[in-house]
Amino acid sequence: METSNSFLDIIITETDRMTHIVQDLLTLSRLDAGNAELVLSRFPFGDAIESVTRANALAAKQHGHTLTYTPPESLPLIVGDRSRLEQVMMNVIGNAVKYTPDGGHIAITAGSTEAEVWMEVCDDGIGIPEKDRDRIFDRFYRVDKARSRESGGTGLGLSIAREIVQRHHGTIALAPHEGPGTTIRLTLPIGGPSNPI
């Protein structure tokens, strides 16, 4: 019975992993084919960050992480596809949770200028070696292949995130980081990818 349960666990894990791969490939093919239209609306940038932070709180707690979001006094409304941008945020924060050894710290900060909003996710995790830094947004690229396989990583999440952000005329990139870990910065135009609605 124990052996059967063990095999069932493996089957469920591998099925979940294959489902993630298929979903990521479908998303990328839709983006490539231009079939993934952005559904633009005006929404509070800060609310989206808070929502995604809450969604990652349980996973962070299970790993013994301290996950904090320090909102500025105010963040503007922005024009964009909220669900797609939250997908980007989920990916970046989720990676920080997955690739930071248990008991780590993940800090989310945000701010704005007259024309842009930004969000940074900073962790004290395993970091990204210099040789991999230029490639982390490439399709199927994984820094730590064994660890990615363990956590169900497909090597597609950050490339999908970059595609979505570029469609919003924004940027997503590694930011300067002191000490161990990684900081990823997302920057978006307040007016969105087209004229404000």
pLDDT tens profile 112-161 = 999 999 999 999 988 777 777 676 766 665 565 444 444 455 567 888 88
Q: What CATH number matches the domain at 2-189, 3.90.870.10, 3.30.565.10, 3.60.20.10, 1.20.950.20?
A: 3.30.565.10
Question: What is the rounded average pLDDT of the residues 24-29?
Answer: 66
pLDDT at 124: 92
User: What are the extents of the domains in the chain?
Assistant: 2-189
C-alpha 51/C-alpha 34 separation (Å) is 28
pLDDT at 29: 66
pLDDT at 178: 81
Tell me the pLDDT tens digit for each residue of 33-59: 665 678 899 999 999 999 999 999 999
C-alpha 156/C-alpha 140 separation (Å) is 5
Q: Provide the whole-model pTM.
A: 0.79
Q: CA 30, 33, 36 angle in degrees (round to 5)?
A: 40
Distances (CA, A) of 107 to 43, 98, 161: 23, 14, 19
